[in-house]
Amino acid sequence: MQRLIIQGGSRLNGEITVQGAKNAALPLLAGCVLINGEIRLHNCPALSDVFAACRILSVLGARCSREDGCVTVDARGAVKTFVPDELMREMRSSIVFLGAVLGRTGECRLSFPGGCELGPRPIDMHLCALRKMGVRINEEYGVLSCTCPRGLRGARVDLSFPSVGATENIMLAAVLAKGDTVIYNAAREPEICDLAEFLNCCGARISGAGGGTITISGVEKLHGCEYSVMPDRIVAATFMSAAAATGGEIGLLGARAGDIRAVIPIFEQMGCQVFLYEDRIFIKAPKQLKAVRTVRTMPYPGFPTDAQAIVTAALAKAKGTSVVVENIFENRYRHVDELVRMGADIKTEGKVAVIEGVKELYGAKVRAPDLRGGAALAVAALSAEGETSLTNIKLMDRGYDCIENAFTLLGGNIKRVNY
């Protein structure tokens, strides 16, 4: 078991390169199943979720290797159709392998996915869309057995909610299907655009990604390519929150301002100066942060739910009263009790959290409740007086590539220890 020991009180300063995006790398790795050739994915972060995806690829018959941030996948032998339960339980994004394996082999057998406990995240939309594309699905004892007796075929799919996972699964299933697939009310996240661009580089025909309607025209086969994973917008927001909370000044190299355009105004309302460039972001925090009237999480291009806990940690010391409204997940305030242990004054009721800024936070023994909640506690600890012991950090390793090294590079006093 490991934990982070964080000594607060240091202002973060300096520059750091933003890692590749977890939420982009995972569907790209799933997409490798469809490709009859070798794929080289650059800027692929060293995350436990990425390692789990590579293990799934290996079980399916692909060959995977990693060197200096580049993952190489040769899926020419990926003809197996069963994903073991223990691998499916490791991460929520494992469900995107369903569309990819169906597209490659015409059949797939897997269990329901795992991941952080953020409340109900049903896959009904995924399954409904696949049925429209000719997939027969039998569910028994938590296992999905899927077949395509007549092969996958294009279809019109109307999503009731712009689900990222459902949009990705449909895209992966559709690229080798017969005919055209049109997704209405598609998710617009930058990671959707990254998946479309990657598949197009491999010979797919996808248009409209980034908008509400995506069209996929099926092709006969896909070929290998080299591709770089987009920078992680939530990691960028994490560093910005840490800079704001500690009164620091940092530069985020490789960050794309357009990906977090709903987040930047929140930091400006806190009193931070944010300077935007084509391939980097600079943020300079004031000595005293100001409260923000209301932060509402929404599907992209709205404020991302993944950044909510992290920004809440910065607002805990902002002068005045801030209100956060969580509109995506039911169980996304699990970090609040841990922040209160550190001296924060936060009250929650249903979707709403009311944050009364305090003068100081204090080091404490806290536990990461989930991936982003753990990052929020790390941000709070960097700005707190005294020492914080943060446990259950394996959840943070799902989305942050050695977060202690990144914060240390910026001047934070943080180390990983065994216990």
CA–CA dist 13, 86 (Å, integer): 41
| Residues annotated as catalytic (active site), given as ranges | 116
92 is in an annotated binding site: yes
What is the dihedral angle through the alpha carbons of 344, 350, 352, 355, rounded to the nearest 10 degrees?
-10
Mapping DSSP to helix (H, G, I), strand (E, B) and coil, where does residue 143 land?
A: strand
From the list 104, 124, 100, 126, the residue with the least C-alpha distance to 183 is 126
Q: In angstroms, rounded to a whole number, what is the distance separating the alpha carbons of residues 88 and 92?
A: 8
**Residue closest to 184 by CA, chosen among 163, 198, 204, 153:** 163
Among the listed residues 229, 139, 204, 209, the one whose alpha carbon sits nearest the alpha carbon of residue 168: 209
Q: Are 409 and 15 in contact (CB under 8 A)?
A: no
- 260 annotated ligand-binding residue: no
Amino acid in the structure at residue 204: A
Binding site annotation covers 138? Answer: no
Question: According to the annotation, is 136 in a ligand binding site?
Answer: no
Q: In whole angstroms, what is the distance from residue 130 CA to residue 71 CA? A: 29
Exposed e or buried b per residue across 268-303, where buried means at least 16 C-beta atoms within 10 angstroms of its C-beta: ebbbbebeeeeebbbbbbeeebebbeebebebbeeb
Placement of tokens 């065994």 in the chain: 418
Q: Which structure tokens are listed for 150?
A: 């007549």
> How far apart are alpha carbons 148 and 126 in whole angstroms?
15
> How far apart are the C-alpha atoms of 368 and 19, rounded to whole Å?
21
- Spell 206-221 as b/e; 16+ CB within 10 A means b: beebbeeebbbbbeee
CA-only gyration radius of the chain, Å: 21
CA distance 350 to 325: 9
- Is 156 annotated to bind a ligand? Reply is no
Alpha-carbon dihedral angle through residues 60, 43, 304, 264, given to the nearest 10 degrees: 180
Residue stretches of the annotated binding site: 22-23, 92, 306, 328
- Residues belonging to the binding site for phosphoenolpyruvate are 22-23
